[in-house]
Amino acid sequence: MKILITGGSQGIGLAMAKELHSAGHELFLVARDPGRLDIAIKGFPGNVPCFACDIGKEGQIEELINATTQKDFHPDVIILNAAAFGGSERSVLKPSPDEFRKLLEVNVLANYQLVQGFMDSLKKSKYPRIVIMGSTAGVRVDDGSLYGITKWALRSYAYFLRNELKHLGVGVTLINPGGTFTQKRVPDEKTPAGRLLEASDIGKLVAAILTLSPQAVVEELNIRPLLGDTY
């Protein structure tokens, strides 16, 4: 299948890309940083098309959609993984409205626009799927962050999208990972190796989900470290 992944140059996005490439799928990677994206695609054998853009900025999603059309890449699956995390302040009272607005634009509105933009391609596919990367911050009531609010909103969107698209044959899956080791979050004296999920854990789950029969859809999946979320 042809699979487009946002936030595909590092962390969970890159881990998913590696698993899916190993499974024989064709990829199109999207990320904000062109340098990091270039390094990522060099790690794959053969040619992996990509496009650097900031999905939170006006007009750049349209540029992405045009780029996929020009490269004749019409995805069967879109994996909405890119996210903004905001500052370190764990409060829903203190951060500025501008910070909240930016998180909403990237974590919710951009994904809404991406689904709209690629819907025609998905409806033509024999196995159309939308995989939305949520977070356990979107199922907790004690997260206490603006990021958590946006993931709650994204979860609601995924539920309604699943219901609306089922009659068109488009499956929607929401995956909520807990704490995960990535390039930015590595083992240290506070978080020893083995405490958090490996990014490859998420990649393996997504690869497995895409092997199911066309009539089977994993609606929502929570995956946490064995000892629970940690902050």
Query: Using one digit for the tens of pLDDT, what is the confidence trace for 12-68?
Result: 999 999 999 999 999 999 999 999 999 999 999 989 999 999 999 999 999 999 999
Distances (CA, A) of 158 to 3, 83, 135, 183, 217: 19, 15, 12, 27, 13
Average pLDDT, the chain: 95
Query: How remote is the C-alpha of 162 from its chain's centroid?
Result: 16
Q: Region 220-230: what's the mean pLDDT?
A: 93
Provide DSSP, 165-176.
Answer: HGGGT-EEEEEE
- How large is the angle between the packed helices 110-123 and 146-165, nearest 10 degrees? 20
Q: Are 99 and 87 in contact (CB under 8 A)?
A: yes
107: confidence class by pLDDT, cuts 50, 70, 90: very high
224 Cβ contact partners less than 8 Å away, ≥ 6 residues apart: 136, 177, 178, 179, 197
pTM of the model: 0.95
Q: Are 176 and 220 in contact (CB under 8 A)?
A: yes
Residue 127 has pLDDT above 70, yes or no: yes
